[in-house]
């Protein structure tokens, strides 16, 4: 349990510092890369939030999914993030 809390506290700090405004070519390269063979496990986490949509001037609900992997050497890497607008059932 301690390891899990430690992992997610470090993970949350990492995610908050991540700049989601990657340029489109880097984002495409990031999203289409292959998963390395030495990945030991993957964690998928969801963050529910409200984000202001500048186009319509309203606050909308959003869910941000993040995929983090740990390799056989114990290094963590971000393998994907996905943003979904609205509530999904």
Question: What are the tens digits of pLDDT across the range 25-84?
Answer: 677 777 777 888 899 899 999 988 888 878 888 888 888 888 999 999 999 988 888 888
What's the 3-state SS for 11-68? HHHHHHHCCCCCCHHHHHHHHHCCCCCCEEEEEEEEEEEEEEECCCCEEEEEEEEEEE
pTM value is 0.59
- In angstroms, rounded to a whole number, what is the distance separating the alpha carbons of residues 85 and 50? 9
């Amino acid at each position: 349990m301690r390891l899990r809390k430690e992992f997610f506290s470090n993970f949350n700090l990492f995610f908050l510092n991540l700049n989601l405004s990657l340029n489109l070519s880097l984002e495409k390269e990031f999203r289409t890369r292959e998963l390395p063979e030495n990945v030991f496990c993957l964690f998928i986490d969801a963050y529910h939030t409200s984000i202001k949509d500048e186009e319509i001037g309203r606050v909308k609900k959003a869910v941000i999914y993040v995929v983090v992997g740990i390799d056989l050497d114990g290094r963590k890497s971000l393998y994907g993030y996905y943003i979904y607008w609205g509530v999904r059932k």
